Amino acid sequence: MNVTRKLFDEVMVPNYNPAATIPVKGLGSRLWDQTGAEFIDFAGGIAVNVLGHCHPELVKTLQEQSEKVWHLSNVLTNEPALRLAKKLTQATFAEKVYFANSGAEANEAALKLARRYAVDNFGSEKNQIIAFNQGFHGRTFFTVTVGGQAAYSDGFGPKPSAIDHIDYNDLAALETLISDKTCAVMMEPIQGEGGVVSPESEFVKGVRTLCDKHNALLIFDEVQSGVGRTGDLYAYMGLDVTPDILTTAKSLGGGFPIAAMLTTTEIAKHLKVGTHGSTYGGNPLGCAVAEKVLDIVNTPEVLDGVKHKEALFRSGLEKINTQYQCFSEIRGKGLLLGAVLNEQYAGRSRDFLVAAAAENLMCLVAGANVVRFAPSLVISDEDILEGLSRFERAVAKTVAS
Protein backbone atom coordinates (compact mmCIF):
# COMPACT_ATOMS: atom_id res chain seq x y z
CA MET A 1 0.00 0.00 0.00
CA ASN A 2 1.29 3.45 -0.92
CA VAL A 3 0.85 5.46 2.28
CA THR A 4 1.01 9.17 1.50
CA ARG A 5 -0.59 12.41 2.66
CA LYS A 6 -2.98 12.03 -0.29
CA LEU A 7 -4.36 8.87 1.30
CA PHE A 8 -5.48 10.96 4.30
CA ASP A 9 -7.81 12.96 2.06
CA GLU A 10 -9.23 9.74 0.62
CA VAL A 11 -9.97 7.85 3.83
CA MET A 12 -10.06 10.26 6.79
CA VAL A 13 -12.84 12.55 7.99
CA PRO A 14 -11.71 16.08 7.02
CA ASN A 15 -11.76 17.60 10.52
CA TYR A 16 -7.94 17.78 10.44
CA ASN A 17 -5.52 19.19 7.91
CA PRO A 18 -2.18 17.55 8.75
CA ALA A 19 1.15 18.55 7.28
CA ALA A 20 2.53 16.76 4.23
CA THR A 21 5.30 15.22 6.34
CA ILE A 22 4.55 11.75 7.75
CA PRO A 23 6.96 10.80 10.57
CA VAL A 24 7.84 7.11 10.73
CA LYS A 25 10.45 7.02 13.49
CA GLY A 26 11.26 8.99 16.61
CA LEU A 27 14.03 8.93 19.18
CA GLY A 28 14.43 11.50 21.93
CA SER A 29 13.65 14.92 20.47
CA ARG A 30 14.32 13.89 16.89
CA LEU A 31 11.88 12.59 14.26
CA TRP A 32 12.45 11.08 10.82
CA ASP A 33 9.92 11.13 7.98
CA GLN A 34 9.29 8.72 5.09
CA THR A 35 12.14 10.27 3.08
CA GLY A 36 14.63 9.99 5.93
CA ALA A 37 14.61 13.73 6.64
CA GLU A 38 15.39 14.50 10.30
CA PHE A 39 13.38 16.99 12.38
CA ILE A 40 13.88 18.48 15.82
CA ASP A 41 10.67 18.29 17.83
CA PHE A 42 9.71 21.42 19.79
CA ALA A 43 6.01 20.45 19.60
CA GLY A 44 6.11 17.31 21.70
CA GLY A 45 2.90 15.96 20.21
CA ILE A 46 1.18 19.05 21.69
CA ALA A 47 2.76 18.75 25.14
CA VAL A 48 2.38 14.96 25.24
CA ASN A 49 5.80 13.42 24.59
CA VAL A 50 7.10 14.51 27.98
CA LEU A 51 10.13 12.20 27.78
CA GLY A 52 10.58 12.44 24.02
CA HIS A 53 10.06 9.64 21.54
CA CYS A 54 10.69 5.98 22.38
CA HIS A 55 12.25 6.64 25.78
CA PRO A 56 14.01 3.33 26.58
CA GLU A 57 12.45 2.94 30.03
CA LEU A 58 8.95 3.53 28.67
CA VAL A 59 9.54 1.10 25.81
CA LYS A 60 10.77 -1.53 28.29
CA THR A 61 7.79 -0.97 30.61
CA LEU A 62 5.29 -1.25 27.77
CA GLN A 63 6.92 -4.41 26.44
CA GLU A 64 6.90 -6.03 29.87
CA GLN A 65 3.25 -5.16 30.55
CA SER A 66 2.22 -6.28 27.05
CA GLU A 67 3.25 -9.81 28.00
CA LYS A 68 1.13 -9.78 31.18
CA VAL A 69 -2.35 -8.30 30.70
CA TRP A 70 -3.71 -5.69 28.26
CA HIS A 71 -7.32 -5.10 29.22
CA LEU A 72 -9.72 -6.12 31.98
CA SER A 73 -12.45 -3.42 31.97
CA ASN A 74 -13.72 -1.86 35.17
CA VAL A 75 -15.35 -5.13 36.24
CA LEU A 76 -11.90 -5.93 37.60
CA THR A 77 -9.12 -3.72 38.90
CA ASN A 78 -5.44 -4.20 38.09
CA GLU A 79 -2.05 -3.71 39.71
CA PRO A 80 -0.67 -0.93 37.43
CA ALA A 81 -3.81 1.18 37.98
CA LEU A 82 -3.63 0.79 41.74
CA ARG A 83 0.08 1.59 41.88
CA LEU A 84 -0.36 4.66 39.68
CA ALA A 85 -3.33 5.92 41.71
CA LYS A 86 -1.37 5.50 44.93
CA LYS A 87 1.60 7.44 43.55
CA LEU A 88 -0.63 10.24 42.23
CA THR A 89 -2.31 10.65 45.63
CA GLN A 90 1.05 10.56 47.40
CA ALA A 91 2.43 13.27 45.11
CA THR A 92 -0.56 15.66 45.14
CA PHE A 93 -3.39 17.05 47.28
CA ALA A 94 -5.70 14.29 46.07
CA GLU A 95 -7.01 11.25 47.90
CA LYS A 96 -8.99 9.60 45.10
CA VAL A 97 -8.36 9.02 41.38
CA TYR A 98 -10.59 8.26 38.40
CA PHE A 99 -8.88 7.06 35.19
CA ALA A 100 -9.98 7.88 31.65
CA ASN A 101 -8.36 7.94 28.20
CA SER A 102 -8.12 11.62 27.23
CA GLY A 103 -8.14 15.09 28.70
CA ALA A 104 -11.66 15.69 27.44
CA GLU A 105 -12.90 12.58 29.25
CA ALA A 106 -11.16 13.58 32.48
CA ASN A 107 -12.74 17.04 32.21
CA GLU A 108 -16.14 15.54 31.44
CA ALA A 109 -15.83 13.47 34.61
CA ALA A 110 -14.79 16.54 36.62
CA LEU A 111 -17.75 18.58 35.41
CA LYS A 112 -20.22 15.76 36.04
CA LEU A 113 -18.78 15.27 39.51
CA ALA A 114 -19.07 18.99 40.29
CA ARG A 115 -22.73 19.03 39.23
CA ARG A 116 -23.51 15.86 41.19
CA TYR A 117 -21.72 17.17 44.29
CA ALA A 118 -23.77 20.38 44.15
CA VAL A 119 -27.08 18.59 43.62
CA ASP A 120 -26.43 16.17 46.47
CA ASN A 121 -25.32 18.86 48.93
CA PHE A 122 -27.23 22.00 47.94
CA GLY A 123 -30.00 21.07 45.49
CA SER A 124 -30.59 21.28 41.75
CA GLU A 125 -30.60 25.11 41.61
CA LYS A 126 -26.84 25.17 42.30
CA ASN A 127 -25.75 24.30 38.77
CA GLN A 128 -23.85 27.27 37.29
CA ILE A 129 -20.39 26.57 35.87
CA ILE A 130 -18.08 29.54 35.32
CA ALA A 131 -15.16 29.24 32.91
CA PHE A 132 -12.92 31.60 30.97
CA ASN A 133 -12.82 33.07 27.49
CA GLN A 134 -10.17 31.45 25.28
CA GLY A 135 -10.07 28.46 27.59
CA PHE A 136 -9.92 24.95 26.18
CA HIS A 137 -11.17 21.84 27.96
CA GLY A 138 -11.76 19.25 25.23
CA ARG A 139 -14.12 18.40 22.39
CA THR A 140 -17.02 16.54 24.00
CA PHE A 141 -20.16 18.64 23.86
CA PHE A 142 -20.03 19.46 27.58
CA THR A 143 -16.30 20.28 27.65
CA VAL A 144 -16.30 22.23 24.39
CA THR A 145 -19.16 24.35 25.71
CA VAL A 146 -17.29 25.04 28.95
CA GLY A 147 -14.26 25.93 26.85
CA GLY A 148 -14.38 29.62 26.05
CA GLN A 149 -14.02 29.52 22.27
CA ALA A 150 -17.37 29.70 20.51
CA ALA A 151 -15.84 28.72 17.16
CA TYR A 152 -15.36 25.21 18.55
CA SER A 153 -18.83 24.84 20.11
CA ASP A 154 -21.14 26.67 17.68
CA GLY A 155 -23.03 24.84 14.96
CA PHE A 156 -23.99 21.67 16.80
CA GLY A 157 -27.41 22.64 18.08
CA PRO A 158 -28.51 23.50 21.63
CA LYS A 159 -25.64 23.60 24.09
CA PRO A 160 -25.52 22.41 27.71
CA SER A 161 -26.92 25.23 29.83
CA ALA A 162 -25.91 27.15 32.97
CA ILE A 163 -22.38 27.79 31.68
CA ASP A 164 -20.97 31.34 31.73
CA HIS A 165 -17.65 32.82 30.60
CA ILE A 166 -15.54 35.77 31.69
CA ASP A 167 -12.06 37.00 30.80
CA TYR A 168 -9.03 35.27 32.29
CA ASN A 169 -7.26 37.30 34.98
CA ASP A 170 -10.39 39.45 35.52
CA LEU A 171 -11.12 38.90 39.20
CA ALA A 172 -13.68 41.70 39.36
CA ALA A 173 -15.75 40.03 36.64
CA LEU A 174 -15.73 36.77 38.57
CA GLU A 175 -16.73 38.52 41.77
CA THR A 176 -19.71 40.04 39.95
CA LEU A 177 -20.82 36.77 38.32
CA ILE A 178 -20.25 34.16 41.01
CA SER A 179 -23.04 33.42 43.46
CA ASP A 180 -24.42 30.69 45.69
CA LYS A 181 -25.88 29.16 42.51
CA THR A 182 -22.36 28.52 41.18
CA CYS A 183 -21.37 24.88 41.50
CA ALA A 184 -17.88 25.15 39.97
CA VAL A 185 -15.25 27.39 38.45
CA MET A 186 -13.10 25.65 35.84
CA MET A 187 -9.78 27.08 34.72
CA GLU A 188 -6.39 26.22 33.31
CA PRO A 189 -3.56 27.32 35.61
CA ILE A 190 -1.89 28.37 32.36
CA GLN A 191 -4.11 28.84 29.32
CA GLY A 192 -2.50 26.69 26.61
CA GLU A 193 -4.57 26.75 23.43
CA GLY A 194 -5.76 30.24 24.35
CA GLY A 195 -2.31 31.77 23.89
CA VAL A 196 -0.03 30.51 26.70
CA VAL A 197 -1.38 32.97 29.28
CA SER A 198 -0.26 32.76 32.91
CA PRO A 199 -2.53 33.70 35.80
CA GLU A 200 -1.73 36.69 37.98
CA SER A 201 -1.09 35.64 41.58
CA GLU A 202 -3.83 37.89 42.96
CA PHE A 203 -6.28 36.49 40.41
CA VAL A 204 -5.76 32.80 41.06
CA LYS A 205 -5.79 33.25 44.83
CA GLY A 206 -8.91 35.38 44.51
CA VAL A 207 -10.63 32.64 42.50
CA ARG A 208 -9.93 30.19 45.33
CA THR A 209 -11.29 32.62 47.94
CA LEU A 210 -14.48 33.30 45.96
CA CYS A 211 -15.09 29.57 45.42
CA ASP A 212 -14.77 28.99 49.15
CA LYS A 213 -17.15 31.87 49.90
CA HIS A 214 -19.87 30.48 47.63
CA ASN A 215 -19.32 26.74 48.23
CA ALA A 216 -18.24 26.27 44.61
CA LEU A 217 -15.66 23.71 43.58
CA LEU A 218 -12.46 24.90 41.92
CA ILE A 219 -11.48 22.66 38.99
CA PHE A 220 -7.97 22.97 37.58
CA ASP A 221 -7.58 21.65 34.06
CA GLU A 222 -3.93 20.57 34.10
CA VAL A 223 -4.18 18.49 30.94
CA GLN A 224 -1.50 20.62 29.27
CA SER A 225 0.28 22.15 32.28
CA GLY A 226 0.68 19.00 34.36
CA VAL A 227 3.34 16.32 34.85
CA GLY A 228 6.36 18.60 35.11
CA ARG A 229 5.55 20.92 32.23
CA THR A 230 5.96 24.10 34.32
CA GLY A 231 8.86 22.88 36.45
CA ASP A 232 6.51 21.74 39.22
CA LEU A 233 4.89 18.31 39.06
CA TYR A 234 1.58 20.15 38.69
CA ALA A 235 1.24 23.87 38.03
CA TYR A 236 -0.96 24.45 41.10
CA MET A 237 2.08 23.68 43.25
CA GLY A 238 3.82 26.79 41.96
CA LEU A 239 0.76 29.00 42.48
CA ASP A 240 0.17 28.33 46.17
CA VAL A 241 -3.45 27.49 45.37
CA THR A 242 -4.97 24.02 45.72
CA PRO A 243 -7.99 23.03 43.59
CA ASP A 244 -10.80 20.71 44.65
CA ILE A 245 -10.57 18.70 41.42
CA LEU A 246 -7.61 18.40 39.05
CA THR A 247 -7.51 16.79 35.63
CA THR A 248 -4.39 15.43 33.98
CA ALA A 249 -3.67 13.73 30.65
CA LYS A 250 -1.31 14.49 27.73
CA SER A 251 2.11 14.11 29.39
CA LEU A 252 0.79 11.63 31.96
CA GLY A 253 1.27 8.73 29.56
CA GLY A 254 4.28 10.14 27.74
CA GLY A 255 2.47 9.41 24.47
CA PHE A 256 0.30 6.49 25.57
CA PRO A 257 -3.37 7.56 25.85
CA ILE A 258 -4.34 7.93 29.52
CA ALA A 259 -5.97 10.58 31.68
CA ALA A 260 -6.99 11.00 35.29
CA MET A 261 -9.26 13.08 37.47
CA LEU A 262 -7.93 13.71 40.97
CA THR A 263 -9.98 14.87 43.95
CA THR A 264 -10.65 14.42 47.66
CA THR A 265 -12.47 11.58 49.37
CA GLU A 266 -15.30 13.89 50.45
CA ILE A 267 -15.99 15.06 46.90
CA ALA A 268 -15.30 11.70 45.23
CA LYS A 269 -17.97 9.89 47.23
CA HIS A 270 -20.65 11.53 45.09
CA LEU A 271 -19.63 9.43 42.09
CA LYS A 272 -21.00 6.28 43.62
CA VAL A 273 -21.23 2.98 41.75
CA GLY A 274 -22.95 3.36 38.40
CA THR A 275 -22.82 7.16 38.11
CA HIS A 276 -19.89 7.31 35.67
CA GLY A 277 -17.50 4.99 33.87
CA SER A 278 -15.13 4.21 31.03
CA THR A 279 -14.50 0.90 29.30
CA TYR A 280 -10.79 1.56 28.80
CA GLY A 281 -10.23 3.79 31.83
CA GLY A 282 -7.47 2.39 34.02
CA ASN A 283 -6.14 0.24 31.20
CA PRO A 284 -3.14 -1.80 32.48
CA LEU A 285 -0.92 -0.83 29.53
CA GLY A 286 -1.56 2.89 29.94
CA CYS A 287 -1.25 2.80 33.71
CA ALA A 288 2.02 0.88 33.62
CA VAL A 289 3.55 3.41 31.24
CA ALA A 290 2.16 6.38 33.20
CA GLU A 291 3.59 4.99 36.43
CA LYS A 292 7.04 4.93 34.84
CA VAL A 293 6.55 8.45 33.46
CA LEU A 294 5.66 9.68 36.94
CA ASP A 295 8.66 7.91 38.49
CA ILE A 296 11.01 9.62 36.04
CA VAL A 297 9.45 13.10 35.92
CA ASN A 298 8.77 13.53 39.63
CA THR A 299 12.45 13.88 40.49
CA PRO A 300 14.58 16.95 41.28
CA GLU A 301 16.78 16.13 38.29
CA VAL A 302 13.98 16.44 35.74
CA LEU A 303 11.94 19.20 37.41
CA ASP A 304 15.00 21.40 38.05
CA GLY A 305 16.15 20.62 34.51
CA VAL A 306 12.90 22.11 33.16
CA LYS A 307 13.74 25.44 34.79
CA HIS A 308 17.24 25.39 33.28
CA LYS A 309 15.89 24.54 29.83
CA GLU A 310 13.26 27.27 30.09
CA ALA A 311 16.05 29.79 30.66
CA LEU A 312 17.89 28.45 27.61
CA PHE A 313 14.75 28.78 25.46
CA ARG A 314 14.00 32.29 26.69
CA SER A 315 17.55 33.45 26.13
CA GLY A 316 17.59 32.06 22.59
CA LEU A 317 14.19 33.48 21.67
CA GLU A 318 15.05 36.90 23.06
CA LYS A 319 18.30 36.89 21.10
CA ILE A 320 16.34 36.10 17.91
CA ASN A 321 13.88 38.87 18.72
CA THR A 322 16.65 41.40 19.30
CA GLN A 323 17.65 40.94 15.68
CA TYR A 324 14.26 40.52 13.99
CA GLN A 325 11.87 42.46 16.25
CA CYS A 326 8.82 40.26 15.65
CA PHE A 327 7.73 39.29 19.17
CA SER A 328 6.09 41.50 21.78
CA GLU A 329 6.91 39.08 24.61
CA ILE A 330 7.92 35.53 25.48
CA ARG A 331 5.41 34.18 27.98
CA GLY A 332 4.52 30.98 29.76
CA LYS A 333 6.36 28.87 32.29
CA GLY A 334 8.74 25.94 32.19
CA LEU A 335 8.57 24.21 28.83
CA LEU A 336 5.18 25.60 27.88
CA LEU A 337 6.25 28.83 26.20
CA GLY A 338 4.66 31.23 23.74
CA ALA A 339 6.36 33.76 21.48
CA VAL A 340 3.71 36.46 21.03
CA LEU A 341 3.79 38.22 17.67
CA ASN A 342 3.84 42.01 17.73
CA GLU A 343 1.42 44.22 15.80
CA GLN A 344 3.53 44.16 12.65
CA TYR A 345 3.20 40.37 12.37
CA ALA A 346 -0.22 39.92 14.00
CA GLY A 347 -2.22 36.98 12.68
CA ARG A 348 0.79 35.25 11.11
CA SER A 349 1.68 32.55 13.63
CA ARG A 350 1.00 29.81 11.09
CA ASP A 351 3.48 31.42 8.68
CA PHE A 352 6.19 31.01 11.32
CA LEU A 353 5.14 27.39 11.93
CA VAL A 354 5.27 26.54 8.21
CA ALA A 355 8.65 28.26 7.83
CA ALA A 356 9.98 26.31 10.83
CA ALA A 357 8.83 23.01 9.30
CA ALA A 358 10.71 23.95 6.12
CA GLU A 359 13.82 24.23 8.32
CA ASN A 360 13.11 20.76 9.78
CA LEU A 361 11.80 22.06 13.09
CA MET A 362 8.42 21.15 14.54
CA CYS A 363 6.67 23.75 16.69
CA LEU A 364 3.08 24.77 17.44
CA VAL A 365 0.75 27.75 17.40
CA ALA A 366 -1.68 28.92 20.09
CA GLY A 367 -4.07 31.01 18.08
CA ALA A 368 -3.16 33.34 15.23
CA ASN A 369 -0.71 35.43 17.24
CA VAL A 370 1.38 33.01 19.29
CA VAL A 371 4.08 30.50 18.30
CA ARG A 372 4.04 27.81 20.99
CA PHE A 373 6.78 25.48 22.20
CA ALA A 374 6.10 22.35 24.28
CA PRO A 375 9.06 20.01 23.83
CA SER A 376 10.20 17.00 25.82
CA LEU A 377 11.17 17.88 29.38
CA VAL A 378 14.44 15.99 28.90
CA ILE A 379 15.36 17.49 25.54
CA SER A 380 19.12 17.96 25.41
CA ASP A 381 20.64 21.42 25.55
CA GLU A 382 22.26 20.64 22.21
CA ASP A 383 18.89 19.95 20.60
CA ILE A 384 17.47 23.16 22.08
CA LEU A 385 20.31 25.21 20.60
CA GLU A 386 20.12 23.48 17.22
CA GLY A 387 16.34 23.87 17.16
CA LEU A 388 16.60 27.55 17.99
CA SER A 389 19.13 27.95 15.20
CA ARG A 390 16.61 26.43 12.79
CA PHE A 391 13.87 28.63 14.20
CA GLU A 392 16.02 31.71 13.66
CA ARG A 393 16.36 30.81 9.98
CA ALA A 394 12.57 30.38 9.81
CA VAL A 395 12.03 33.76 11.45
CA ALA A 396 14.47 35.44 9.06
CA LYS A 397 12.62 34.08 6.03
CA THR A 398 9.17 34.91 7.46
CA VAL A 399 10.13 38.46 8.36
CA ALA A 400 11.59 38.96 4.90
CA SER A 401 8.48 37.66 3.10
Cα–Cα distance, 13 to 250 (Å, whole number): 23
Per-residue pLDDT tens digits for 101-139: 999 999 999 999 999 999 999 999 999 999 999 999 999
Q: What is the structure's pLDDT at 70?
A: 96
Active-site residue numbers?
136, 221, 250
Task: Kindly report, as residue ranges, where domains of CATH 3.40.640.10 are found in the chain.
Answer: 57-297
**CATH assignment, 5-54+300-400:** 3.90.1150.10
Task: Kindly report, as residue ranges, where domains of CATH 3.90.1150.10 are found in the chain.
Answer: 5-54+300-400
Per-residue pLDDT tens digits for 306-354: 999 999 999 999 999 999 999 999 999 999 999 999 999 999 999 999 9
Closest CA to 40 of 396, 400, 394, 399: 394
| Averaged confidence pLDDT in the chain | 96
Secondary structure element (H or E) that encloses residue 370, with its range: strand 370-373
Kindly write down the DSSP assignment for every residue of 44-72, as one continuous string. HHHHT-TT-BS-HHHHHHHHHHHTT-S--
CB 63 within 8 A of CB 390: no
Per-residue pLDDT tens digits for 135-176: 999 999 999 999 988 889 999 999 999 999 999 999 999 999
Kindly write down the DSSP assignment for every residue of 11-56, as one continuous string. HS-TT----S--EEEEEBTEEEETT--EEEESSHHHHT-TT-BS-H
**CATH assignment, 57-297:** 3.40.640.10
State the average pLDDT over residues 223-236: 98
pTM tops 0.85: yes
Secondary structure element (H or E) that encloses residue 129, with its range: strand 128-132
Q: What is the structure's pLDDT at 73?
A: 87
Cα–Cα distance, 398 to 401 (Å, whole number): 5
CB 134 within 8 A of CB 148: yes
Cα–Cα distance, 162 to 152 (Å, whole number): 18
